[in-house]
Amino acid sequence: MQNLPSSSRWATWFNGSTVVRLLEMVQDVIVISLCIGLFSFMVMQLREMFLSLLPPLNFPEVTSDILFLLILVELFRLLIIYLQEHRVSIGVAVEVSIVSVLREIIVRGVLETPWIQVLACCLFLVVLGGLLVVRAWIPPTFDGVDPEQEISRRHRIRFAQDLAEMGAVKSSID
């Protein structure tokens, strides 16, 4: 590598796999720090919830805290899935959205909420439920084959063939 001209060294360092691995590592560090921060916030919220259980008991506040903790747990699970699979789970994201909307409706109270907001929430929940149904029908993988990885593999093969053809044409000209 020391005998290579400086432009070749830069080209070697900036090839796709090196840069992608470096960026994925930085992204993983960011997600891990988010997990640590979210976990710390969950512990503080759990402490707050237990303190709200002391008399006098405020039932709406306790219900709100429990639902908020469930949302935080689902967000934590979303981050863990991302760390394991390097993808955002659509199902978990939709579930978090559903629980968040339901929490707001329960905390505010359906009777105190304007009817147009209740209607909007209902439509939003129907759309999210439809996403969950559609997500269940579409398999994420086909017998262990990730469709995105398969397409990426085809493009790499095609690119390698194009490079080989260009090399053959260049060598025939020389």
Which DSSP string corresponds to 10-77? HHHHTSHHHHHHHHHHHHHHHHHHHHHHHHHHHHHHHHHHHHHTSSSP-HHHHHHHHHHHHHHHHHHH
pTM (predicted TM-score)? 0.64
CA atoms within 13 A on the CB side of 129: 8
17-52 confidence digits (pLDDT tens): 778 888 889 999 999 999 999 999 999 999 988 888
pLDDT-based confidence at residue 12 (cuts at 50, 70, 90): low
